[in-house]
Structure 1
């Protein structure tokens, strides 16, 4: 029976450091011209702004629709835009909008891009995502790694199916259990501006439209092709692999987030230039484990007994 197939029962433990630091050094030594790819993306702010206003404008046409229609449109359209906006927040957390010298400009633009998502996540994501890059896989430091509770509870085929459906909730709540950090002032600003926006949406279009925005976000972060990137990026489809890239067509609408080895090697390079990293340093990436379908990633994660929330490389500090 589907629910009786149990996946692995522990993480893949290692004392080795993440591979990105050494590979970055090797690539820069051989191809120093890659440094020319560092910097910001001057066009990205216009793409994000167009998506924000497209989402808001769509509410006018959807405000009188039935719930079944809203669910379908949310899954196929509105939620897709919001998922892409959430991925834009990922890029914005790396200061790709205005560059590293304009920290606050990047943060406030992130708050703006956050608006159609309905929940204030931009500043909090930035705070925890920095740790994910710095301490990838390290126990108690990287909130991207599932907790023991998640991994143990959702280790069957049916459990993994439920875990994927609930993925947005675990993604948002897990940092509070792994490494809670003090609330910063910008998080309060993020929340206040978001609440004001939500109230305006309710006043103009009705509460159902705010629910549509939030539900669409949650739907596309769960059992949805776009959500395959949550699993493809760091779950261990090949033994010992802590990061894998995806080279499929959905990179076109997700700012090349699939180029994840390249991104972790060079987080200061904007997404639209990551394919150039792979092209220049092809011998460093071509033979690494990679994915070409996020839908297949989700299917294999659910039905392959070797996969599950435990299928992550988890690191312990070396004992000298």
Structure 2
């Protein structure tokens, strides 16, 4: 468990991300894919049902013993909360109400955030745009680990710890890599979230709050669903920086596994990404893909060629706004 990872730095490249070129080629051959762009009319109802389910669960856990609160947080509630973070991911691309109703999308993301227990949606939105626009961009894409993470989390045991602490790094990394001023929407997100947390605490005590927050932290850390964090952009094969997964866990993660398709067409809802794969199959079938998120986590921990440094990075010439 003490063997060090072989990589000592990121994989630096000097060309543009592949999604821009592939998007252009696919649209030239299959212009009908444009018809898939736009809002998903079912998303708001699915998300509302998930929020309601967690509200009912908060009522039910108030009388459970603490060990069962944590168990159900990991086995059930955290899975819903992780799925809600991926719904927020979709909503950040305006697919709940469409581009013409951007404000409704932002407010609905705050609503979807409620069971997560901590404010998240507004901050995610402003950084996720950079992740698509500047994929792997040094100092711009906060999805890429820091040098300190790559240097320290280089043995199997440390990489296992890194997976467990993923929520912490995703929360704090933007403040180190690319800090941005707090927006009024982020303030609103925080106020609404903490008011709802207080109401739940007032009505049913501390256990529902622990159930929500512990579930979010545990299921975004060392959990099979969290395999997508590593599967999406860690370089399992040299030169390939984005990978798709077409397995059954897509059913509970808004098709986030269709990640090459998503980066090629971020304005297409997750529910329609399988159609992109079907229409333009020859563009995706020959690309490397993952078959199991659990296997991804295993390889990340025990393969010494993979770790936080196994990411492609590039420089972008950008004039930063003050």
> TM-score higher than 0.5 here?
yes
Q: Offset at 1:157?
A: 1.0
User: How far, CA to CA, are the matches of 1:256 and 1:28 in structure 2?
Assistant: 21
User: Structure 1 residues 59 and 90, CA, compared in 2 at 3 Å: closer, same or farther?
Assistant: same
Compute the displacement of 1:5 (Å).
3.5
Over the aligned positions, Cα root-mean-square deviation in angstroms equals: 0.9
Deviations 1:54-76, CA, capped at 9 Å, x for gaps? 00101111111112111111111
Q: What is the total number of aligned residue pairs between the two structures?
A: 317
Alignment-derived partner of residue 60 in structure 1: 59
C-alpha displacement at 1:277, in angstroms? 0.3
CA apart distance, 1:131:
0.4
CA contact (8 A) 2:134 2:316 kept: no
Deviation at 1:4, TM superposition (A): 2.5
- Give per-residue Cα distances to partners, 1:143-200, cap 9 Å, x unaligned: 0000001110101111100100000100111011110111111111111101100000
Q: Equivalent residue for 2:296? A: 297
Contact 1:233 1:258 in 2 (8 A): yes
**8 Å CA contact 1:151, 1:308 repeated in 2:** yes
Counterpart for residue 199 of structure 2: 200
Kindly indicate whether residue 185 of structure 2 is the aligned counterpart of residue 186 of structure 1.
yes
Which 5+ residue runs of structure 2 have no aligned equivalent? 318-322
**Superposition pairs for residues 40-79 of structure 1, below 5 Å?**
40-79=39-78
Distance in 2, matches of 1:117 and 1:316, equals 34
Structure 1 residue 158 corresponds to structure 2 residue 157: yes
CA contact (8 A) 1:15 1:317 kept: no
The equivalences for 1:82-231 within 5 A come to 82-231=81-230
Contact 1:39 1:268 in 2 (8 A): yes
CA distance in 1, matches of 2:316, 2:256: 28
CA contact (8 A) 1:6 1:155 kept: yes
> TM-score when scaled to structure 2?
0.97
* Other-structure match for 2:29: 30
Q: CA deviation at 1:209?
A: 1.4
Q: CA deviation at 1:6?
A: 2.6
Say which is worse superposed, 95-104 or 3-12, in terms of deviation. 3-12
Structure 1 portions without partners, runs of 5+:
none
Is the Cα–Cα contact under 8 Å of residues 226 and 250 in structure 1 kept in the other structure? yes
Deviation at 1:126, TM superposition (A): 0.2
2:168 and 2:179 map into 1 onto residues whose CA distance is: 16
